[in-house]
Amino acid sequence: MAIAMREVRVRKDQLEPDMILAKDMVFDDGRVLIKEGTLLTKEDIQKIRSYNAEYINIAKHHVVAEDQDRAVSTKKIVTSDGVEFDIEVNEEKEPEIIETISRAFEGKKTPSEFEALKVENDPKFIEFSRKHSAIEAKIKKHIIAISQGGEIVVDELYDMPNSIVTDMDIKGDLFAYLNGLQMRADHTFSHSVNVAILCNLFAYWLGYKEEEVVEITLAGILHDIGKLKIDEKILNKPTKLTADEFEMIKKHTIFGYNMVEYKPLSRNIKNAILMHHKRPDDDDSYPFGVSYNNVSNYAKIVAICDIYDAMTGERPYRKKHSPFEVIHYLERDSLGVLDTRFLFVFLSKISNSLINSWVKLSNGDDAKIIYINSNNLSRPIVRTTKNQYFNLSERKDINILDLL
């Protein structure tokens, strides 16, 4: 294996004014965030910190060479069979990263061995699916009862999605397992379970205290409770909604808030139910007439989990998107829309949890995720069943269609 130094970068949380940008910062669609040669201001640095990249190219004379936590190198890895990859590493993590990549190149497998490792053939996924269905049925009863004025049994509601998370030996498998679930007839309730699971795990990632994790999980369960007041024909309509139907859908946040307004729930949970569709500077977000300044962190967390699960789940009116398609969408279109303090933690954790997952590529190949590119989370390095390797951040002609 040959390795050659190419360039130096700086961690974005240690950028300082008057550093010089050594390379354009460009979105996937070609838009330039900040141009090469820019003398960075505080405002530029704030923009960069909202950008989904851990390390930024800075003119070399600004980098302290001895500070290896601060400086990172792009190194070329060449495998024994001639495959080349450019991988960003710092000195401390370099051996671990190179070992991870190298290990993926060893021990070629036959197609039948690859087939046996897919999620759909995993006994743990089969058990996960069974448990998810049972919990969905129980949560449905709770949500319907609450919508009709019943009590909120906090411990029971929290324990159901939390048990799914705690029962997972490898928490990262959750995303592949959720992706493998089939669309339910009552997708509102399966969606509520999924959002609760995502909120639970996300809250732990963000370092919230135990009691806050409970509340954020409950907010995920109850965020769409207001949809019980909307005609199922509208919710399950397989064609585009009319303007009047869409206006009715928008009211579900107010309906939901009204259902829990006088319940013994924290203000933050109620805020999440009311405000999880509110966006800054967006006249189409709702509820109307409410300032984005009133949106709680719980609502911002639920918003991210809600969008992710809605897009990765199949609906009567559209096919589901793969997790990597959704990561790409959120990387590209969510600056200034979702809170990037939370969003990029979520995207980074999800994408890295999908290492070793199997995917279907647009060229027809089945492949395994072997490495996540930190500056392009939705375009990983993959290894196919034909033992070919593609760095999708360079191979723009190949896309991930779905997890297998």
Do residues 208 and 220 lie in contact, with contact meaning Cβ atoms separated by under 8 Å?
no
Structure tokens at 86: 């450019």
The Cα–Cα gap between 105 and 370 comes to: 9
Cβ neighbours of residue 308 under 8 Å, at least 6 residues apart?
198, 323, 326, 330, 346, 350
Question: Can you tell me the distance from the alpha carbon of 337 to that of 309, in angstroms, rounded to the nearest whole number?
Answer: 17
Q: Looking at residue 302, what is its pLDDT?
A: 97
pLDDT for 89 equals 55
pLDDT at residue 183, rounded to an integer:
63
Question: What order do you get walking across the sheet with 376-384 strand by strand?
Answer: 389-391, 376-384, 366-373, 358-361, 400-403
How far is residue 73's CA from residue 89's CA, in Å, rounded to a whole number?
5
SS3 147: helix
The CA–CA distances, whole Å, from 361 to 178, 319, 324, 395 equal 19, 17, 11, 12
pLDDT along the chain (404 residues), means of 10: 45 75 71 76 75 68 40 57 58 57 53 59 87 94 94 92 85 83 75 95 93 96 96 89 92 95 95 92 71 89 95 80 91 80 89 88 92 88 88 92 87
SS3 call for 356: coil
pTM of the model: 0.76
pLDDT at residue 27, as a whole number? 64
Tell me the C-alpha distance between 328 and 334, whole Å: 10
Q: In this structure, what token pair is assigned to residue 61?
A: 């004379």
pLDDT at 231: 93
CB 249 within 8 A of CB 241: yes
**Structural element, H or E, at residue 3:** strand 2-11
